[in-house]
């Protein structure tokens, strides 16, 4: 992920391309296991372009998608709109994000590309 302009610039550039970097369908693991969960408050960390957040919203969850890239989150909002669901987005650095543990029922952290020390803290 070394680009000379940090993680935000890297992901903004990556998500600026046409289409969706990881596709529009949810991660296979999430797709396989989420349908049995009771709908509630879901938090998708490092969510990128929103494929998993939108999927959870389609299952009835109230979803907050967090990512460092406003470019990715705009695509997440567009995908949600196209699919007829609503998600909330939060653009911030994961290192500075400290949600209240009791405020969510489900946390999805799929393909979270962060440094090992930050991953351990999250």
Q: Is the dihedral of CA 55, 62, 91, 73 positive or negative?
A: positive
Given a cut of 60, whether residue 110 has pLDDT beyond it is: yes
* Burial class, 18, CB count within 10 angstroms (exposed 0-12 / middle 13-18 / buried 19+): exposed
The mean per-residue pLDDT over the stretch 92-111 comes to 87
109 or 117: which leads in pLDDT: 109
Given a cut of 60, whether residue 122 has pLDDT beyond it is: no
Given a cut of 70, whether residue 119 has pLDDT beyond it is: no
Phi, psi values for residue 45, rounded to 5°? -85, 145
Averaged confidence pLDDT in the chain = 89
- Which listed CATH number (3.40.50.150, 3.20.20.80, 3.30.1490.20, 3.40.718.10) goes with 6-15+39-121? 3.40.50.150
The percent of residues in the chain predicted with pLDDT above 70, rounded, is 87
Of the listed ranges 29-38, 51-60, 93-102, the least confidently predicted one is: 93-102
3-state DSSP assignment of residue 68: coil
The percent of residues in the chain predicted with pLDDT above 90, rounded, is 71
The mean per-residue pLDDT over the stretch 70-83 comes to 98
């Amino acid at each position: 992920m070394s680009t000379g302009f940090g993680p935000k610039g890297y992901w903004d550039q990556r998500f600026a391309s046409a289409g969706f970097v990881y596709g529009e369908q949810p991660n296979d693991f999430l797709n396989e296991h989420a349908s049995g969960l009771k709908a509630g408050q879901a938090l998708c960390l490092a969510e990128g372009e929103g494929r998993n957040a939108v999927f959870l919203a389609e299952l009835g969850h109230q979803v907050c998608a967090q990512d460092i890239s406003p470019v990715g989150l705009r695509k997440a909002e567009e995908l949600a709109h196209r699919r007829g669901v609503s998600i909330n987005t939060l653009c911030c650095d994961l290192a500075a994000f400290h949600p209240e543990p009791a405020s969510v029922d489900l946390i999805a952290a799929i393909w979270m590309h962060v440094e090992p020390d930050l991953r351990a803290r999250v």
